[in-house]
Amino acid sequence: MEIPHQRLIYFQLTVETGSIRGAAARLDIAPSAVSRQIALLESALDVTLLERRRDGVCPTPEGELLLDYCQRRTLLDRHFSDALDAHQRLETGQITLHVGEGFVGDLINQPLRDFTESHRGVRLKIDTGSTREIIETVVNDEVDIGLMYHEQVHPHLRFWQSTRQPLVLLMSPSHPLARESRAPIALDTLAEYPLALWHSGHGVRELVDLAFREANQRPLVGIQTGSLEVLKHSARAALCLTLLPRFAAARELEEGALVARDLVGKHFTQANAHMVTRVGRRMPRVTLQLLRHLQRWMCAFRCDDVGPGS
C-alpha cells in the first residue's frame, strides 16, 4: 500500500502537538487542510487513527502503530541523508578490485595504506585472478577496477592507464645466466632451461606462449602454477627460471634475492600493465579518487621504461 508522505507528516505532527490546530500552526496551513488529509488517510487505511477529546486528540491503537511507522521512517530518512552526505564527502563506500597477483605487493605496500588512512570509512574488496577473469568481472560490473597485464584493447574496457612494463627473466644469483653477460637473452637460450610459468589464461603466460609459437619453439615447462610466490621461490631456489614484470618482484630484486635479465623479442619488451574499468560505468567520486591515487603511486603505472638495474 502506497501512503502519500505528506499525509503521514500531517498525522505525525497532529499527534506530536496534541491537536489539529497545533499541527496546522506548525505547517502554516489551515486546520481544515490538516483535518481533510487525515480523513483521507483514515479512509485509505480503513481505520480510525485519532480519538477526539476535549483537550485535543490522541492516537487510537491503530494510530499508535502508524505513529511508530512514521517515527521509524523519519529515522531511516535521516540515516540515509547522513550516509549519502558522508559518501559524497568521500568518507564511506565500498570499492571492489580484481587484480593480477603480480600487482598485489605494489598495490598493498604503500598506495592502499595511504589511501585508507585518509578514507577510513571506505571498505575495499580485493580478489586476484587471470587476465580473462579480470576482464569478465569488469565487463559484467562485478568489480569497479581491474589491474591486468598484457591485454592491449577490448571494446568494453576503458583503459585509464597503460604503462610499458617489459617481461624480464628472473633467476637466482647463483644461476649460470646470472653470471654471464648482461646482454638481453635470446629465445634460443631461454628454451634450454626449465621455466616456472603461470597457468594458461594468465597475461604473462599468453605472452610467453605467443613468443615461443612464433619462433616455432616450445618452452621447457618445469612448473605451472597460479601462485606468484611459487614462481618467485622456484627462481630463488634455482629450480627454474621465471618471467615476470619487474614490479611483481620489486622487493626480491632490491634485496638481491633475485637477478633480472632483459629478453630479446617484441612480445617481451612491449608488454604493458593496465588499469581498467567498464566503458560507460558511472564511477562514484571515491572510486575516481582511488583511480587517480593508484595512477600516481603504483610502480606498475609510473615506472615506464625501467632499466636493468632497477
How do residues 74-86 score in pLDDT, each as one tens digit? 888 877 876 666 5
Task: Let me know whether 157 and 287 are in one domain.
Answer: yes
Assess if residue 308 is contained within a domain. no
Assess if residue 239 is contained within a domain. yes
Pick the last residue of a domain from 88, 118, 134. Answer: 88
Domain count, the chain: 3
Assess if residue 309 is contained within a domain. no
How do residues 183-213 score in pLDDT, each as one tens digit? 899 999 999 999 999 998 788 999 999 999 9
At residue 82, the pLDDT reads 60
Assess if residue 306 is contained within a domain. no
47 SS3 class: coil
Task: Let me know whether 84 and 123 are in one domain.
Answer: no
How do residues 232-273 score in pLDDT, each as one tens digit? 999 999 999 999 999 999 999 999 999 999 999 999 998 999
Pick the last residue of a domain from 88, 111, 129. Answer: 88
In whole angstroms, what is the distance from residue 199 CA to residue 223 CA? 9
User: How far is Cα of residue 124 from the mean position of the Cα atoms in its chain?
Assistant: 7
* Cβ atoms 89, 284 nearer than 8 A: no
Mean pLDDT check: name the lowest of 36-40, 53-57, 167-171, 305-309: 305-309
Assess if residue 136 is contained within a domain. yes
**Cell match 592502499: residue?**
112
Task: Let me know whether 296 and 280 are in one domain.
Answer: yes
Task: Let me know whether 242 and 180 are in one domain.
Answer: yes
How do residues 300-309 score in pLDDT, each as one tens digit? 997 544 443 3
Closest by Cα among 69, 114, 118 to 89: 118
**Cell match 645466466: residue?**
177
pTM for the full model?
0.67
Determine the length of the chain.
310
* Cβ atoms 267, 187 nearer than 8 A: no
Assess if residue 237 is contained within a domain. yes
Task: Let me know whether 276 and 128 are in one domain.
Answer: yes
Cα–Cα separations (whole angstroms), residue 89 to 84, 85, 140, 289: 9, 6, 28, 11
| 257, 263, 267, 272 alpha-carbon torsion, rounded to 10° | 40
Task: Let me know whether 182 and 252 are in one domain.
Answer: yes
Which H helix or E strand runs over 73? helix 61-88
Domain housing 29: 5-88
At residue 85, the pLDDT reads 65
How do residues 86-106 score in pLDDT, each as one tens digit? 555 555 678 999 999 999 999
At residue 90, the pLDDT reads 52
What is the mean predicted confidence (pLDDT) over 278-294?
A: 89
Task: Let me know whether 159 and 241 are in one domain.
Answer: no
In whole angstroms, what is the distance from residue 270 CA to residue 211 CA? 12
Question: What CATH number did the domain enclosing 287 receive?
Answer: 3.40.190.10
Task: Let me know whether 265 and 278 are in one domain.
Answer: no
Using the 8-state DSSP alphabet, how is residue 109 labeled?
Answer: I
At residue 27, the pLDDT reads 85
Pick the last residue of a domain from 88, 123, 141. Answer: 88
Task: Let me know whether 114 and 45 are in one domain.
Answer: no
How do residues 141-155 score in pLDDT, each as one tens digit? 999 999 999 877 889
Assess if residue 229 is contained within a domain. yes
* Cβ atoms 157, 277 nearer than 8 A: yes
Pairing label, strands 167-171, 50-53: unpaired
Task: Let me know whether 239 and 176 are in one domain.
Answer: yes
Task: Let me know whether 171 and 258 are in one domain.
Answer: yes
Assess if residue 125 is contained within a domain. yes
Task: Let me know whether 12 and 84 are in one domain.
Answer: yes
How do residues 10-25 score in pLDDT, each as one tens digit? 988 999 898 988 888 9
pLDDT range class, residue 120, cuts 50, 70, 90: confident
